[in-house]
A and B are shown apart, each in its own frame.
Chain A
Amino acid sequence: MGFFLLSWLDPSLLMLTAAGTLAGIYIGAIPGLSVTMAASILISFTFAWEVNAALALIAGVFTGGVYGGSRSAILLNIPGAPAAIASALDGYPLARRGEAGVAIGLSTVMSVLGGFIGVIALAVAAPVISEFALLFAPRDYLLLAVMGLLLVGTLSGESLAKGLFAGALGIALGMVGLDPMTAEGRFTLGTVQLMAGIPYVAAMIGFFGVSEALVQLHNLRVKPVKQDVSRIIPPWRLIRKYLPLSLRSSLIGVVIGALPGTGGDIAALMAYDQAKRTVKNPSRPFGEGAYEGLIAPESANNAAVGGAYVPMLTLGIPGDAVTAVILGALFIHGLKPGPMLMIETPHLFWFTVGNLALANIFLLVFGLTGIRAFAKLVECPPSVLIPLILVLSVVGTYSIQNSVVDVYFMLGFGIFGYLLKMYGFQVGPVILGMILGPMIDVSWRRAVISVGDDLGFLVEEAVASPLTMVLMAFMAFLLLSQVKWRALGRRLRS
């Protein structure tokens, strides 16, 4: 309980969580900034901090950012984050009817409710899963890492081939440096700089920060839409009326968010789809400003935050692109997300649970205040925003090792990421591959070495292990579900 309340009672952690949540709301809301970009830049500034402080800030940004994406979806019809795609479907029509204030207020309250459900799910489910995961053999870890790679399916956009390429490229990039088992150089080109591997943060900032800033340069002449926002606190009768829908959608969000290979965007789209199918008499037809069409995705995407932490903390596999980056942050801080995390550092787990709960309280406070200043900031032109993002990217990368070489790496990844994006690739799978590649490599080699390089014996052992068979069945389920989710995502996004 003490660790749960740590960030509530420690003034500096309290401030960092508040600052992170506030910053996250703005980052999520400003078109051109993404939570993934912000989290990757933040890692570079916080890597030397004490781990709790770094996690408090990043968790605040994550929680605030997922919610903040709905702000620009409602006000500008531009989802600030993928998780807010479904929120734009009815949020923007509400704003066009002059109900932007009520829409933002409702989305805030329901997001917080969803967030709390996610936190409760994390607190209840994670210890159970973690205990179970202690029984895992190297081959099981291999299966887990491959399950994490299934996220490529949902992160790859419209072309699976491009997603697969990007994921495999990430794995290859993750192999750069000295082999941890034999100390042989891989892809080092004989240079000392590459022996320690590709600077992970430089790659993240390049792929997510610089490349996105360059893509946004194409939208320099887009004029922001101004919105008049007045009353924001929603009437109690609306909250009471839509509470059951919010709870139902939150549960969808938790479950979908916890599955490796999904995330807030799929959770929100599924909750929207579910609301559309089950709500008999919506306040207005869906797509024309129905409250239900805003409440369902908003509850689900914030509930998915807690859900996404479950596989990340207990199994060491990310639930979505942002948790992939947070996973990287945990590694940078010397932690090992996975079943041992709960045994070696249980205080960290309970701190994270408490911290996410606190971030949701701040979300309620900041979400319902300062809306006028917020509306102005969302209109910040890209000609000002992009240079600032670039400077932050440079400072962030340089500060890791005080090395300009890292900054050049970042620019190289940024330009390459820009080309990938322009040719229809997504950069998320590259980072995912970089994170999971080393885990796949080591788990596979340990598994085959343990059976004397005899693949037949490995298969026999796997078939004889109920645990491995359960994991394989779960993986097959996820693989088949990918096809369904991709189709659903395409249908709803269109």
Chain B
Amino acid sequence: MHDQRRRREPGETLFGFVLLLMSLAVMAEGHRLRGFEEVSAPGITPLAAGVVMAISALVIILRTRTLVPTEAGFATRIAPRDIALSVLMIAIYMALLEPIGFHIATFAFLSALILYLRRGGPASPLRGLGFALLLALVSVVAVHVVFRMVFTVVLPQGWMLRSILPPGWLL
């Protein structure tokens, strides 16, 4: 993903402008904290960082505009279905972590994502499902043993489960 490519990625110019806006926001915070007034003000470093960001963003935008654009669209190059769906699954997984707990949420997330990413492989759909479920189960057990039991990390237990199951049942 280096800059050796000769073509402009879809959405790259817009991204440059987003970065420029971020730079201006950083500069504004520096200004609010008296960055322009005193050399030892709390805003001096944010202001300096904002200026460097803004100049760099301008250079990046100008250079990007000289590149020949790729023919493929944003949905093909930057956010293809695999990426978009994976991000969506991660977001759902995170949202479910506290309600249903780490173990069930992780099992469901791993099964679903492995099954999705391995689609179209040489294995039959049933074998693929079996593999995904088994791997997800083994992974959840392994994470529980290593992180809960060895590293004593407190994993989310799930407030929904807590209201259903008796206390001794929770991992």
Report which A residues bind B (CB closer than 8 A): 45-46, 48, 157-159, 161-162, 164-165, 167-169, 171-172, 175, 179, 181-182, 184, 186-187, 210, 214-215, 217-218, 220, 381-384, 386-388, 390-392, 394-395, 398-399, 402, 404, 407-408, 411, 415, 418-419, 421-424, 433, 437, 440-441, 444-445, 448-449, 453, 455
How would you classify the secondary structure of chain B's contact residues: helix, strand, loop or mixed? helix
Q: Which residue of A lies closest to B150 (CB)?
A: A45
- Which residues of chain A are within 8 angstroms of B154 by Cβ–Cβ distance? 399, 402
> Residue of B at shortest CB range from A452?
B40
Q: Is the CB of A159 within 8 A of B3?
A: yes
Contact (A220, B29) CB under 8 Å given A45-B153, A449-B40, A453-B39: no
Q: Which residues of B contact A (CB under 8 A)?
A: 1-5, 9, 12, 15, 19, 22-23, 26, 29, 33, 38-40, 42-46, 49-50, 52-53, 56-57, 59-60, 63, 77-78, 80, 82-83, 86-87, 90-91, 93-94, 97-98, 102, 106, 109-110, 113-114, 117-118, 121, 135, 139, 143, 147, 151-156
Chain B nearest CB from A202 CB (Å) reads 12
Q: Tell me if B3 and A407 are in contact (CB < 8 A).
A: no
Residue of B nearest to A494 (CB): B4
What residue in chain A is nearest B117 (Cβ atoms)? Answer: A383
- Verify B9–A165 contact, CB threshold 8 A: no
- Is A383 a contact partner of B118 (Cβ separation < 8 A)? yes
- Nearest B-chain residue to A402, judged by Cβ: B154
- The 7 residue pairs across chains A and B that have the minimum distance between CB atoms: A383-B117, A165-B56, A158-B3, A168-B52, A441-B45, A424-B3, A179-B42
Residues of B within 8 A of A187 (CB): 26, 29, 46
- A168 and B139 contact, CB distance less than 8 A: no
Cα distance A418–B78 when bound, in Å? 9
Residue pair B56, A164 in contact (C-beta under 8 Å): yes
**Inter-chain contacts of A46 with B (CB < 8 A):** 151
For B118, list chain A residues within 8 Å (CB).
381, 383-384
Residue contact B2 to A424, C-beta cutoff 8 Å: yes
Q: Is the CB of B49 within 8 A of A217?
A: no
Given contacts A407-B97, A445-B40, contact A391 B110 (CB under 8 A): yes
Name B26's contact: one of A172, A388, A440, A445 (CB within 8 Å).
Answer: A172
| Contact between A217 and B86, CB atoms less than 8 A apart | yes
Query: Is B102's CB under 8 angstroms from A423's CB?
Result: no
A165-B19 contact in complex given A157-B2, A395-B147, C-beta closer than 8 Å? yes
Point out which of A398, A423, A440, A449 has the most chain B C-beta atoms below 10 A from its C-beta: A423
> A179, A387, A391, A419 — which one has the most chain B CB atoms within 10 A of its CB?
A387
Is B114's CB under 8 angstroms from A387's CB? yes
Known contacts A158-B4, A437-B45; A387 and B26 CB within 8 A of each other: no
B102 touches A395 (CB 8 A): yes
Q: Which residues of B contact A181 (CB under 8 A)?
A: 42
* Residues of chain B within 8 A of A184, CB atoms compared: 33, 42
Contact check, A215 vs B39: say whether CB atoms are below 8 A apart. Answer: no
- Is A220 in contact with B5, judged by CB distance below 8 angstroms? no
Contact, CB under 8 Å: B139 / A388: yes
Q: How far in angstroms is the closest Cβ of chain A from B116? A: 9
B3 touches A214 (CB 8 A): no
In the assembled complex, the CB of B91 is this many whole angstroms from the nearest CB of chain A, namely: 7
Jot down 20 A-B pairs with beta carbons below 8 A, ordered by A. A45-B153, A46-B151, A159-B60, A162-B56, A165-B52, A186-B42, A186-B43, A388-B139, A392-B143, A394-B93, A394-B94, A411-B87, A419-B15, A421-B1, A433-B49, A441-B45, A444-B40, A444-B44, A453-B39, A453-B40
Contact between chains at A161 and B83 (CB < 8 Å): no
Is A161 a contact of B60 with CB atoms below 8 Å?
yes
Query: In whole angstroms, what is the CA distance A411 to B154 when docked?
Result: 20
What residues of chain A lie closer than 8 Å to B87, measured between beta carbons? 214, 411, 415
A421 proximity list for chain B (CB < 8 A): 1
A411 contacts which of B90, B106, B151 (Cβ < 8 Å)? B90
Q: Across the two chains, which residue of chain B brings its CB closest to A166?
A: B56
Q: Which residues of A lie under 8 Å from residue B97 when comparing CB positions?
A: 394, 398, 404, 407
Q: Which residue in chain B gives the minimum CB-CB distance to A424?
A: B3
A398 to B56, CA, bound (A): 34
Looking at the complex, which one of A381, A394, A398, A448 makes contact with B39 (CB distance below 8 Å)? A448
A408 and B26 contact, Cβ closer than 8 Å, known pairs A164-B52, A186-B46, A214-B86:
no
Chain A CB count within 10 A is highest, among B40, B106, B118, B154, for B40
A158 touches B2 (CB 8 A): yes
Known: A395-B143, A398-B156, A419-B15. 15 other contacts (CB 8 A): A157-B3, A161-B56, A161-B63, A168-B53, A169-B53, A172-B46, A186-B33, A383-B114, A383-B121, A390-B109, A394-B93, A404-B156, A411-B94, A424-B2, A444-B40
**B51 to chain A: closest CB distance in Å?**
8
Expressed in whole angstroms, the minimum distance between the Cβ of B112 and any Cβ of chain A is: 9
Contact status A395-B42, CB under 8 Å: no
**Contact between B29 and A186, CB atoms less than 8 A apart:** yes
A422 touches which of B9, B94, B152 (Cβ 8 Å):
B9
Report the Cα distance A402→B121, complex, angstroms: 38
Inter-chain contact A424/B114, CB cutoff 8 Å: no
Closest to B77 in A: A422
Residue of B nearest to A455 (CB): B39
* CA–CA, A156 and B167, complex, Å: 52
Instruction: Compute how far the CA of A214 lies from the CA of B45 in the bound complex, rounded to whole angstroms.
Output: 32
Complex contacts, B121 vs chain A, CB 8 Å: 383
With most chain B CB atoms within 10 A of its CB, the pick from A161, A402, A415 is A161
Give A408 to B92 CA distance when docked, in angstroms: 11
Contact residue among A158, A165, A215 (Cβ-Cβ distance under 8 Å from B60): A165
Q: Which residues of A contact B83 (CB under 8 A)?
A: 214, 217-218, 418
Closest A residue to B93 by beta carbon equals: A394
Q: Which chain A residues border B52 with CB–CB below 8 Å?
A: 164-165, 167-168
In the bound complex, residues from chain A placing their C-beta under 8 Å from that of B2 are: 157-158, 424
CA A422 to CA B60, docked complex, whole Å: 14
Bound-complex Cα distance A440 to B44 (A): 11
Contacts known (A407-B94, A419-B78, A437-B49); A395 close to B153, Cβ less than 8 A: yes
CA distance A464 to B19 in the complex (A): 41
